[in-house]
Structure 1
Amino acid sequence: MGLLSRGKLRIYLAIINILFFVLGGVCVGLGAWQAVDKIFISDVIGSDLYSTAAYLLIFAGCVLVIISCVGCVGTVMQNRPILILYMMTIILTIILMVAAGAVAASFQSKVGSNMINNMKNTILYNYGNNVESNAENKRITNSWDNLQRMLDCCAVENRGWELYRRSEWFKQINPHNYISFDQNTIFVPASCCVHQGPYSTDDWLRKCQRNPYGPPRYPQEVSENQALAYSGCSEAAKMFIQNNIGSLIGLGFGFGLTLIFGVLFAFLLYRNLREPFVPVSTREH
Structure 2
Amino acid sequence: MVELSCGKKMMKYLLFIINFIFFVLGAAAFGLGIWALADKNKMNVLTKIGAASSNFDVIGLLESAAIVLLVGGACILVIGFFGCCGAIKQSQCLLCLYAIFLLLIVILEIAAIAIAASFRGKVTTEVKSFLKESINSTYQGKVDTNEEFSLGLDYAQVYFQCCGIDSYTDFYGATKWNRTVNTSVTMKIPPTCCKLIDKDAFLKDQKFDPIDKNCPYDPNDTNSNMNKPCWTSIEDYLKSRIGVVIGIAAGILVLEILCVVFACCIISTLRAESVK
Once the 2 structures are TM-superposed, how far is the Cα of residue 262 of structure 1 from its aligned partner?
0.8
Do the aligned partners of residues 9 and 15 (structure 1) sit closer, same or farther apart at CA in structure 2, a change above 3 Å counting? Answer: same
1:256 aligns to 2:253 (yes or no):
yes
Do the aligned partners of residues 113 and 205 (structure 1) sit closer, same or farther apart at CA in structure 2, a change above 3 Å counting? Answer: same
- Quote the residue 2:174 is aligned against: 167
Do the aligned partners of residues 145 and 185 (structure 1) sit closer, same or farther apart at CA in structure 2, a change above 3 Å counting? Answer: closer
1:76 aligns to 2:88 (yes or no):
yes
How far apart, in 2, do the equivalents of 1:76 and 1:148 lie?
56
Task: Find the partner of 1:205 among 204, 208, 219.
Answer: 208
- Quote the residue 1:242 is aligned against: 239
Partner SS state of residue 211, structure 1: coil
Higher relative contact order (CA 8 A, sep 6+): 1
* Residues paired across the two proteins, number: 226
Once the 2 structures are TM-superposed, how far is the Cα of residue 78 of structure 1 from its aligned partner?
2.2
Q: After superposition, what is the alpha-carbon deviation per residue over 1:100-130, rounded to whole angstroms, capped at 9, x for unaligned?
A: 433443455557666555543332233249x
Once the 2 structures are TM-superposed, how far is the Cα of residue 270 of structure 1 from its aligned partner?
1.9
Do the aligned partners of residues 113 and 266 (structure 1) sit closer, same or farther apart at CA in structure 2, a change above 3 Å counting? Answer: closer
- Quote the residue 2:102 is aligned against: 90
- Quote the residue 1:225 is aligned against: 223
Question: Cα RMSD over matched residues?
Answer: 4.8
2:196–2:209 CA contact under 8 A, matched in 1: no
Once the 2 structures are TM-superposed, how far is the Cα of residue 71 of structure 1 from its aligned partner?
1.0
Do the aligned partners of residues 5 and 254 (structure 1) sit closer, same or farther apart at CA in structure 2, a change above 3 Å counting? Answer: closer
How far apart, in 1, do the equivalents of 2:90 and 2:17 lie?
16
- Quote the residue 2:31 is aligned against: none
Where structure 2 has 5 or more consecutive residues not aligned to the other structure, the ranges are: 28-67, 142-146
Do the aligned partners of residues 89 and 245 (structure 1) sit closer, same or farther apart at CA in structure 2, a change above 3 Å counting? Answer: same
Partner SS state of residue 176, structure 2: helix
Do the aligned partners of residues 4 and 192 (structure 1) sit closer, same or farther apart at CA in structure 2, a change above 3 Å counting? Answer: farther
- Quote the residue 1:10 is aligned against: 12
Once the 2 structures are TM-superposed, how far is the Cα of residue 23 of structure 1 from its aligned partner?
9.9
1:99–1:252 CA contact under 8 A, matched in 2: no
The TM-score normalised by the length of structure 2 is: 0.58
- Quote the residue 2:165 is aligned against: 156
Once the 2 structures are TM-superposed, how far is the Cα of residue 211 of structure 1 from its aligned partner?
2.9
1:188–1:216 CA contact under 8 A, matched in 2: yes
2:198–2:209 CA contact under 8 A, matched in 1: no
1:24–1:62 CA contact under 8 A, matched in 2: yes
Do the aligned partners of residues 261 and 93 (structure 1) sit closer, same or farther apart at CA in structure 2, a change above 3 Å counting? Answer: same
How far apart, in 2, do the equivalents of 1:184 and 1:206 lie?
19
Matching residue's letter, 1:152: Q
How far apart, in 1, do the equivalents of 2:247 and 2:116 lie?
10
- Quote the residue 1:196 is aligned against: 198
| Percent of aligned pairs sharing the same letter | 25
How far apart, in 2, do the equivalents of 1:205 and 1:151 lie?
16
- Quote the residue 1:216 is aligned against: 216
Task: Find the partner of 2:114 among 102, 106, 123.
Answer: 102
1:100–1:252 CA contact under 8 A, matched in 2: no
Partner SS state of residue 103, structure 2: helix
Once the 2 structures are TM-superposed, how far is the Cα of residue 63 of structure 1 from its aligned partner?
4.3
